Amino acid sequence: MNLAQKDLKYIWHPCSQMKDYESFPPIVIDHGEGVYLYDMEGKEYIDIISSWWCNLLGHCNPEINNAVKKQLDTLEHVILANFSHKPVIELCQELSKSVPRGLTKFHFSDCGSSAVECALKMAFQYQYQTGQMKRTRFMCLSEGYHGETIGALAVGSLDMYAKIYQPLLMDTVRIPAPDCYRCPYHQNRENCQANCFEEAEKCFDRYADTTCAVIVEPLLQGSAGMRIYPPLYLKKLRTLCDQTGVMLIADEIATGFGRTGKMFACDHAAITPDIMCLSKGLTGGYLPMAIAAATDKVYEAFYADYKEGKAFMHSHTYSGNPLGCAAALAVQKILREQHILEHAALRAQYLHEKLLTRLSDHPNIGEIRHIGLINAMELVTDKKTKTGFDEKKRIGYEIYQRALAHGLILRPLGNVLYFNPPLTITEAEIDKAVYRCATAIEEVL
């Protein structure tokens, strides 16, 4: 029995129809370095999706490795209730320099979904403790994704994840999300006035007085197919929240730490949310860790004598784990000292131009959209009508299989193929990845 067979004997893989594995067994990875992963036979794969978007600075980054190894000999874990440790304190000091101005308090959990649950509960309790007991529901954007715990699913809008669980989910208000590729106003995301924001205004007119918070993926709806919308939409949303007393939760789990070209997607709109959710790139993809960062205004609504019952009674065993904090501190140091975002901006322009040159004329590539190093290629049957392939044909999945044969991890989002590489990718690696991607597309289509 080989390793893949042993895997299938025991492991139920995430986000997978396990029957697919009968004909397409799991690839067992032996080691990684930079943008590359290597299987047990030594075949290389370019990890162009950063292993579910979390590998920020390359696999087995020596500096992050050393930081975790050093911490391991000092302290592996300690309860964060009534205890603390140097790495978690230093990490909060560093993050306070880079998060949007006004976010001052950091509540730790262990994954993105947990950070969202934390933010939802925090917003709900804030409204309750400030006398807004009628505010009991949440708004979210259609086609949004915020994780797969019950609360996170409720404020997500992708039926593939949430539909079957509807009887378990709280009722939420779904604002029709911007779809700039198929804009009903026939505008361009680069210079529009966010006319589609009128849909948000309609929802706020009807539901704002009973809504405690709206949660959004700022500028980039990842699981919806890397749908990108303009900063003006986010700026308008911040203003509307201020006018109505609705809190704004920014889910920066996928967009944080330079993925969109700035440290955080909110920076493009120069806004500060009331609560921001962070994870994925926080530790460079090394260890599970997440944060809900809040303003002083939010924090102060929970600060009282114990007998008043206002404490935020939300906890995770591994909150603020020292090993994760050591990795996250190393990430912050590398980002700052090596000017990673500035270098990534040059690679981002190079990558987008390469993809345009190689694939924009392909009859089945409807759009190649980008923000930062993230590029998304929308597969269509007809460029004029922008009609996508029948999802049941799984064209994206077929291209994914072909790309793997050529040594590129190109996991699709339905009819959307995307690049979301480590920020440290080089031009030579970009050239190789674009060639392998184009080859796979051309072999299938």
Report the chain's mean pLDDT, rounded to a whole number.
Answer: 97
Whether 183 has a pLDDT exceeding 90, the answer reads yes
- The mean pLDDT value for 43-48 works out to 98
The CATH number of 66-337 is: 3.40.640.10
Q: Name all contacts of 256-259 with Cβ < 8 Å and 24+ positions apart.
A: 256/280, 256/281, 256/282, 257/56, 257/281, 257/282, 257/331, 257/335, 258/56, 258/335, 258/340, 258/341, 258/344, 258/372, 258/423, 259/53, 259/220, 259/372, 259/373, 259/374, 259/420, 259/423
Q: Dihedral of CA 55/60/62/67: which sign?
A: positive
Whether 172 has a pLDDT exceeding 90, the answer reads yes
Q: Dihedral of CA 108/118/159/255: which sign?
A: negative
Q: Return the higher-pLDDT residue of 161 and 201.
A: 201
pLDDT band at 159 (very low <50, low <70, confident <90, very high): confident
User: Which residue from 271, 312, 320 is spatially nearest to 123, judged by alpha carbons?
Assistant: 312
Q: In this predicted structure, what is the pLDDT of residue 306?
A: 96
Record the tokens describing residue 393, joined without a space: 């044909």
How many CB atoms sit inside 10 A of residue 420's CB?
A: 24
Query: How far is 278 from 269, CA to CA, in rounded Å?
Result: 18
Q: Are 281 and 258 in contact (CB under 8 A)?
A: yes
Q: Which H/E stretch holds residue 120?
A: helix 112-129
- The mean pLDDT value for 416-442 works out to 98
The CATH number of 3-60+339-444 is: 3.90.1150.10
Q: Are 170 and 138 in contact (CB under 8 A)?
A: yes
Q: Name all contacts of 29-37 with Cβ < 8 Å and 24+ positions apart.
A: 31/60, 32/59, 32/60, 33/58, 33/59, 33/60, 34/58, 34/59, 34/60, 34/422, 34/424, 34/429, 35/59, 35/421, 35/422, 35/424, 35/425, 35/429, 35/433, 37/409
Whether 118 has a pLDDT exceeding 90, the answer reads yes
Q: Position of tokens 């590359």?
A: 36
Distances (CA, A) of 255 to 83, 91, 174, 200, 219: 31, 19, 21, 22, 8
Question: pTM of the full predicted structure?
Answer: 0.97
Whether 212 has a pLDDT exceeding 90, the answer reads yes
Encode burial over 288-314: b for 16+ CB neighbours within 10 A, e otherwise. Answer: bbbbbbbbeebeebbeeeeeeeeebee
Query: How far is 118 from 173, CA to CA, in rounded Å?
Result: 19
- The mean pLDDT value for 26-42 works out to 98
Q: In this predicted structure, what is the pLDDT of residue 160?
A: 83
- The mean pLDDT value for 44-55 works out to 98
85-99, pLDDT tens digit by residue?
A: 999 999 999 999 999
Q: Position of tokens 């007809």?
A: 382
Strands, E assignment, 252-394: 275-278, 290-295, 365-371, 374-382, 387-388
Query: Which conformational region is residue 426 in: left (phi greater than 0), alpha (psi within -120 to 50 degrees), or beta?
Result: beta
Phi, psi (degrees; rounded to nearest 5) at 425: -60, 145
Q: Are 416 and 364 in contact (CB under 8 A)?
A: no
Whether 104 has a pLDDT exceeding 90, the answer reads yes
- The mean pLDDT value for 324-329 works out to 98
Query: Which conformational region is residue 406 in: left (phi greater than 0), alpha (psi within -120 to 50 degrees), or beta?
Result: alpha
Q: Are 222 and 144 in contact (CB under 8 A)?
A: no
pLDDT band at 120 (very low <50, low <70, confident <90, very high): very high
- The mean pLDDT value for 275-283 works out to 98
- The mean pLDDT value for 2-20 works out to 95
How many residues appear in the chain?
445
Q: Are 82 and 258 in contact (CB under 8 A)?
A: no
Q: In this predicted structure, what is the pLDDT of residue 144?
A: 96
Domain boundaries, the chain: 3-60+339-444, 66-337
Whether 368 has a pLDDT exceeding 90, the answer reads yes
Query: How far is 281 from 145, CA to CA, in rounded Å?
Result: 17
Query: How far is 80 from 144, CA to CA, in rounded Å?
Result: 32
Percent above pLDDT 90 for the chain: 98
Whether 8 has a pLDDT exceeding 90, the answer reads yes
Percent above pLDDT 70 for the chain: 100
